[in-house]
Amino acid sequence: MDLGLQDRIALVTGASSGLGWAAARELAREGCKVALCSRSETRIRQAAARIAVETGVAEDRLLPLVCDVREEAQIVQVIEQVVAHWGQLNILVTNAGGPPAGYIGDFTADDWRAALELNLLSTINLCRHALPHLRQAARKPNGLARILMITSISAKQPIPNLYLSNAARAGVQGFAKSLAEELGPEGITVNTLLPGYTRTERLAELARLQQQRTGRSVEEIEASWAEQAALKRLGEPEEFAAAVVFLASARASYITGVALPVDGGRSKHLL
């Protein structure tokens, strides 16, 4: 299947590791030129170099950039860098690390503000500032413009000890649905991807926190998470990245406003 991604320009945030890195790798593998960013220059350069080695793509098709997505001025700068370097932007993949785990009594008002800035406001600001360039891309012959937001399965089925994430991710869902409706007439699709329990550094961190709280082993905790999925196992980052690539592709041109769980069947709701 030709996904129509050859030489499309993608920007993936939070891409030094985990699901963001996996998404950037798969987009590069499918022919995109990929800008990837994180807060650490060292880590994002290492991430880009690793993608080049693993995929065999030329290093000049990867653009490692530094950006703290909590800072609007840095968002503006990184988008300008991408467009100045490659001339356009076709695909925006918004992603950021998850806020701390805990319960209602564990967090202050500042903690709530920080979580919303990290996971909700960063997404809104990335979309706001990318939109002029995505609109230009959509108007071109054979144009393609995609917005993909990486959230969490907690947006549809809240996880008890992830209060901050539950609230922020649900906000992203409301924003995405509104944006999909507005941008649909312009041919710009907007979708969210909701990963379930997937083997990343974030998941390992959550397992360690649960181990401290409960005394259960990490192996027992991971087994309990796997049991919740219909497939009875944890997901792998490349499985999630495959869904990102398809929704970014020309073949997904009639899919918008969708919140796609990539969770091995953990979600039990009907819709």
* CATH number of the structural domain spanning residue 154: 3.40.50.720
1 domain residue, yes or no: no
61 and 23 in a common domain: yes
220 and 129 in a common domain: no
203 and 192 in a common domain: no
Per-residue pLDDT in tens (0 to 9) along the chain, 271 residues: 899 999 999 999 999 999 999 999 999 999 999 999 999 999 999 999 999 999 999 999 999 999 999 999 999 999 999 999 999 999 999 999 889 889 999 999 999 999 999 999 999 999 999 999 999 999 999 999 999 999 999 888 888 889 999 999 999 999 999 999 999 999 999 999 999 999 998 888 889 988 998 999 999 999 999 999 999 999 999 999 999 999 999 999 999 999 999 999 998 887 7
In three-state form (DSSP H/G/I as H, E/B as E, the rest C), the secondary structure along the chain is: CCCCCCCCEEEECCCCCHHHHHHHHHHHHCCCEEEEEECCHHHHHHHHHHHHHHHCCCHHHEEEEECCCCCHHHHHHHHHHHHHHHCCCCEEEECCCCCCCECHHHCCHHHHHHHHHHHHHHHHHHHHHHHHHHHHHHHCCCCCCEEEEECCHHHCCCCCCEHHHHHHHHHHHHHHHHHHHHHHHHCCEEEEEEECCECCHHHHHHHHHHHHHHCCCHHHHHHHHHHHCCCCCCECHHHHHHHHHHHHCHHHCCCCCCEEEECCCCCCCCC
204 domain residue, yes or no: yes
245 domain residue, yes or no: yes
Q: What is the pLDDT of residue 150?
A: 97
129 and 43 in a common domain: yes
74 and 113 in a common domain: yes
- Whole domain around residue 213: which residue ranges? 198-234
228 and 153 in a common domain: no
Burial, 73: exposed, middle or buried (Cβ in 10 Å; 0-12, 13-18, 19+)?
Answer: exposed
210 and 117 in a common domain: no
192 and 202 in a common domain: no
250 and 168 in a common domain: yes
Structural domains counted in the chain:
2
135 and 219 in a common domain: no
208 domain residue, yes or no: yes
220 and 86 in a common domain: no
110 and 84 in a common domain: yes
Q: What is the pLDDT of residue 206?
A: 85
pTM of the model: 0.95
107 domain residue, yes or no: yes
